[in-house]
Structure 1
Amino acid sequence: MKMKQSKITFLTSLGAGLEYYDFVLYVLLASFISQQFFPSTNRVAALFATFGVFAVGNIIRPLGGIIFGIFGDRFGRKKVFANTLLWMAFATFLMGITPTFSTIGLAATVIFSLCRIVQGTTCGAEIPGAVTFLSEHIHEKHHGIHFGFMISAIGLGGAFGSFVIWMITKILSDAQMLAWGFRLPFLLGGVLALVGFFIRKHIPETPAFLAMKESTSKPASLFSKKCIGQILSALGVLIFPACFITFFLALPVYLNDTYHYSFPDIYLAMTFGHFWSATLLPVFGWLSDYVGRKKLLFITVLVFAIFGYSIFSLLQLETRWALFGFVALSQTIIAAMASCYFALLPRVFPTSIRYTATALSYNMAYTIAALFPLVANYIYEVIKKPSYVAGLFISLAILTAISTLTLKDNQDN
């Protein structure tokens, strides 16, 4: 019996949201992780080490995307798509039970870092897999609304992570949070990801992959000149969204150190922001089905290029309303972009290499983006001027705008 497209979207979205919850915990809890697993007499040095491992976890993502992508292009999207959640569940739960540096020494740092690398590897296949899976199950004229709901679920996964941490920080004291409270979100995430694995096993294989397996046509090469050009073009489109979203995940440390907002206020604002984005994503997705995804993406990044400095200047007011205003405007930009580029990306590549090429493009962008919090933190420590962050993002937005205009759809879709 053929599964309805709406049900496929729901099950795909549910698993993607659960996995994203697991993935974002590390950076949301960076302040506590740095003290327990990367101890140093200098707090800045400890944060550098923590964000360094965060960067390594993202740097490994292209490798994970290539490995899982090759298997997905050869043996089927469904098997790989389900198994990524199983690996994520294992790594996240282990992070929740790993003893601290004060208990087992350097082994704690190594184990925690390896778990983050496993998270990065599986995440390198998860979102590209979801994007590929939906693009081959859903009719192209409805991609916007279906992708909007899927990315909304990912946003809700991030919101759930922020909400859980906010609740714990409100209930527990700082000492309790540092001692054992930071473990609770990881333990919950491991269990939820395992549930997602069993749910995802029931989704059928995509019609496009089944048709490709029966075809006698020669498959495209990932290393052809044409494909490399397509990957670079997609990378240009993704670079600003990837850096902006990654920076937003590292917001707690940035806002606390730079503007001295309290962690409870930051986590509450981020929870609100994720819910706000999740609400807007289906709306922008529906809009992109009518006005065109390239047009909507171009307009969005152009708006940020014009008003980026004004958005960031809100933080200088150092009030709760200014914080919520900054988060709301930033998440509106993110929602508008995400509703477009996720649907555009898989259509750039032919079916035979779609999973691998989509994963490689997406993860290369996020590998570069993983270095952004590290660079931003270093520059701020040197020049003590937060306004430079807006300037960096505006430059990236202009690059994405140009790349969007040159992006071409693959002819075999």
Structure 2
Amino acid sequence: MEDGETEKKKLDKKKKRRLLRKKDIVVVNPDTAKKAVFASAVGNAMEWFDFGIYSYLAVIIGKVFFPEVSGSTQLVFAFATFSVAFLVRPLGGMFFGMLGDRLGRKNILAITLIIMAIATLSIGLIPSYESIGITASILLLVARLVQGFSTGGEYSGAMTFIAESSPDKKRGFMASGLEVGTLVGYICGAGLVTILTLTLGDETMLAWGWRIPFIIAAPIGFIGFYLRSNLEETPAFEAMEESKEHDDQASMKDIFVYHKKPMLIGIGLVLFYNVVDYMLLSYMPSHLSSVLGYGETKGLILILVVMFIMIPIVLLMGYVSDRIGTKRIIMGGLIGLLILAIPAFKLIESGDNLLVFLGLMILAVFLASFQGTMPSVLPSLFFTDVRYGGLSIMYNLSASVFGGTTPLVVAFLISQTMSLMVPAYYIMIVSVIGIIVVAFFVQETSGRPLRGSAPAVEEEHEIAGILNDQEEAQWWREEKQEITKRMENE
């Protein structure tokens, strides 16, 4: 009997030691959180400004740097140069992600932005193929590789920074601001190309006008660098630095061996997210002009309008996800795509302005359901000590294999099969994969603390409710203890 009581006292003591205290809970300053969202979104806008101008100038870039080939093959070459940057993104993710977990989030985010700005500026300064021959194509390739390397630590780092700087109950809405940066950057890039095309004309654009957007990217990058350099470090990283656990830095092997489950789940999520994203925002302008012959200017303007409309939809998706859960929003988008992908592309194929717009909007709404939720879901897969590194490696592996290759693969398949429904079939296949991953492997994390982080609230009066619900606040502890035990035993 005494032994039983002694054991019970030990368990009670152990449980007591695990309980959260008031000082453990982070009260997030709303102004600081908004500043983090804005600075991260500006950097992401810079990244997608580059994607926007490259996608919208793909036809011209093909003519400038690959004049020895023509037609659809020239477009394939241009998109191949676009896709090659994704080959080094995993390397950049590994390099910057591991540094971000060791040295801090904000410093690495500032460095990646400067590298990207310089690489983008370089593209605008490369002489044409007619001037220096194949050296021009090689220099373009090198610049794209540098962009890919820096981007490897950019987007995943921005997701990590916002997720760790936001209160738990508003993480979905605030993280969706990162994708607003994506759309604004893309709109600015695409809009600038459209305006230049209308004012300068095709001949001038081909001669030198295409360089202007790449040159403009440099000052945008330095503005983003200034904003990020003046941010405060995230509360989650600061708490980790103060803890003894930070002394043992996770290695690359640790991430792949002990965190392989979130890695695999994340790869599945990023797969369908990136395919739909790059299909609509990167490939579609060229599909409308080169494949469907819809008219380059009309296609550009239509997609610009669609992206403007997407901005409030993305924010709405993030807002609603904080209330009903991210899984429901994502699953709704996947099922919608599975059912409506073919009808959407049939409308786009029609050539009628209104029907083309309607088809694009169908795809845009479902993409917005992912953009409004993924920036909060993906960081929640990993613990604080490996979040930047694990997320960077996972995201860029999946983005490189599946996302960045989407324009190239679709352009190639259409040229081989002559079927205009290839994009729809491609989206449907990845939607089925996504439904399986989300339904069976993704855990709902809306409103809950990030793994390995203390709860984060916006108002002090919320602390009492968390202290009364210790089990909910520490839902991640058992999994973390299991990983630690495995690492010690092995």
Q: In the aligned structure 1, how far is the partner of 2:344 from the partner of 2:399?
A: 23
Q: In the aligned structure 2, how far is the partner of 1:152 from the partner of 1:253?
A: 23
Please show how residues 270-285 of structure 1 align to structure 2 within 5 Å.
270-285=303-318
State the Cα distance separating 1:179 from its structure 2 match.
0.6
State the Cα distance separating 1:220 from its structure 2 match.
4.7
Amino acid in the other structure paired with 1:4: T
In the alignment, which of 267, 278, 288 is matched to residue 255 of structure 1? 288
2:407 matched to which residue of 1?
Answer: 373
In the alignment, which of 156, 176, 195 is matched to residue 128 of structure 1? 156
Contact 1:23–1:123 under 8 Å retained in 2: no
In the alignment, which of 41, 44, 65 is matched to residue 69 of structure 2? 41
What's the Cα RMSD here?
A: 1.7
2:475 matched to which residue of 1?
Answer: none
2:452 matched to which residue of 1?
Answer: 412
2:17 matched to which residue of 1?
Answer: none
* Structure 1 residue 186 corresponds to structure 2 residue 214: yes
Amino acid in the other structure paired with 1:92: T
Contact 1:22–1:190 under 8 Å retained in 2: no
In the alignment, which of 125, 142, 145 is matched to residue 114 of structure 1? 142
In the alignment, which of 311, 335, 347 is matched to residue 344 of structure 2? 311
State the Cα distance separating 1:337 from its structure 2 match.
0.9
State the Cα distance separating 1:390 from its structure 2 match.
0.7
* Structure 1 residue 62 corresponds to structure 2 residue 124: no
2:231 matched to which residue of 1?
Answer: 203
310-319 or 286-295: bigger deviation: 310-319
State the Cα distance separating 1:287 from its structure 2 match.
0.5
State the Cα distance separating 1:334 from its structure 2 match.
1.0
Q: In the aligned structure 2, how far is the partner of 1:92 from the partner of 1:112?
A: 10
Contact 1:93–1:191 under 8 Å retained in 2: no
In the alignment, which of 345, 361, 382 is matched to residue 378 of structure 2? 345
Runs of 4+ in 1 over 4 A off after TM superposition: 218-221
In the alignment, which of 161, 175, 181 is matched to residue 203 of structure 2? 175
After superposition, the Cα gap between the structure-2 partners of 1:16 and 1:372, relative to the gap in structure 1 and judged at 3 Å, is closer
In the alignment, which of 260, 264, 276 is matched to residue 244 of structure 1? 276
Q: In the aligned structure 2, how far is the partner of 1:374 from the partner of 1:198?
A: 35
Q: In the aligned structure 1, how far is the partner of 2:345 from the partner of 2:223?
A: 39
Write out per-residue CA displacement over residues 90-146 of structure 1, whole angstroms, 9 at most, x where no aligned residue. Answer: 111111111101011122111111111111111121111110001111112111110
1:72 matched to which residue of 2?
Answer: 100
Amino acid in the other structure paired with 2:323: Y
Contact 1:144–1:286 under 8 Å retained in 2: yes
State the Cα distance separating 1:11 from its structure 2 match.
2.1
Please show how residues 2-17 of structure 1 align to structure 2 within 5 Å.
4-17=32-45
Provide the identity percentage. Answer: 27
State the Cα distance separating 1:89 from its structure 2 match.
1.2
Q: In the aligned structure 1, how far is the partner of 2:228 from the partner of 2:319?
A: 25
In the alignment, which of 172, 176, 198 is matched to residue 144 of structure 1? 172
Please show how residues 312-331 of structure 1 align to structure 2 within 5 Å.
312-331=345-364
SS at 1:250 equivalent: helix
Contact 1:281–1:335 under 8 Å retained in 2: yes
Contact 2:310–2:364 under 8 Å retained in 1: yes
What are structure 1's unaligned runs of at least 5 residues?
A: none
State the Cα distance separating 1:219 from its structure 2 match.
4.8
* Count of aligned residue pairs for this structure pair: 413
State the Cα distance separating 1:27 from its structure 2 match.
2.2
Contact 1:28–1:250 under 8 Å retained in 2: no
Amino acid in the other structure paired with 1:244: V
In the alignment, which of 263, 266, 275 is matched to residue 234 of structure 1? 266
State the Cα distance separating 1:411 from its structure 2 match.
4.5
* Structure 1 residue 396 corresponds to structure 2 residue 446: no
Amino acid in the other structure paired with 2:331: F
SS at 1:132 equivalent: helix
State the Cα distance separating 1:258 from its structure 2 match.
2.2
State the Cα distance separating 1:223 from its structure 2 match.
3.5
Q: In the aligned structure 1, how far is the partner of 2:71 from the partner of 2:110?
A: 39
TM-score (norm 1): 0.96
Contact 2:50–2:214 under 8 Å retained in 1: yes
In the alignment, which of 378, 382, 387 is matched to residue 354 of structure 1? 387
Write out per-residue CA displacement over residues 203-258 of structure 1, whole angstroms, 9 at most, x where no aligned residue. Answer: 11111111111211245554453412211111111211101111221212212222
21-30 or 358-367: bigger deviation: 21-30
2:480 matched to which residue of 1?
Answer: none
SS at 2:372 equivalent: helix
State the Cα distance separating 1:22 from its structure 2 match.
2.1
* Structure 1 residue 163 corresponds to structure 2 residue 191: yes
SS at 1:301 equivalent: helix
SS at 2:67 equivalent: coil
Higher-Rg member (1/2): 2
What are structure 2's unaligned runs of at least 5 residues?
A: 1-27, 454-490
2:487 matched to which residue of 1?
Answer: none
Contact 1:311–1:326 under 8 Å retained in 2: yes
Amino acid in the other structure paired with 1:270: I
Contact 2:52–2:189 under 8 Å retained in 1: yes
2:366 matched to which residue of 1?
Answer: 333
214-223 or 287-296: bigger deviation: 214-223
Contact 1:304–1:333 under 8 Å retained in 2: yes
Contact 2:91–2:149 under 8 Å retained in 1: yes
Q: In the aligned structure 2, how far is the partner of 1:267 from the partner of 1:159?
A: 10
Q: In the aligned structure 1, how far is the partner of 2:292 from the partner of 2:75?
A: 17
SS at 1:412 equivalent: coil
Q: In the aligned structure 1, how far is the partner of 2:228 from the partner of 2:115?
A: 14
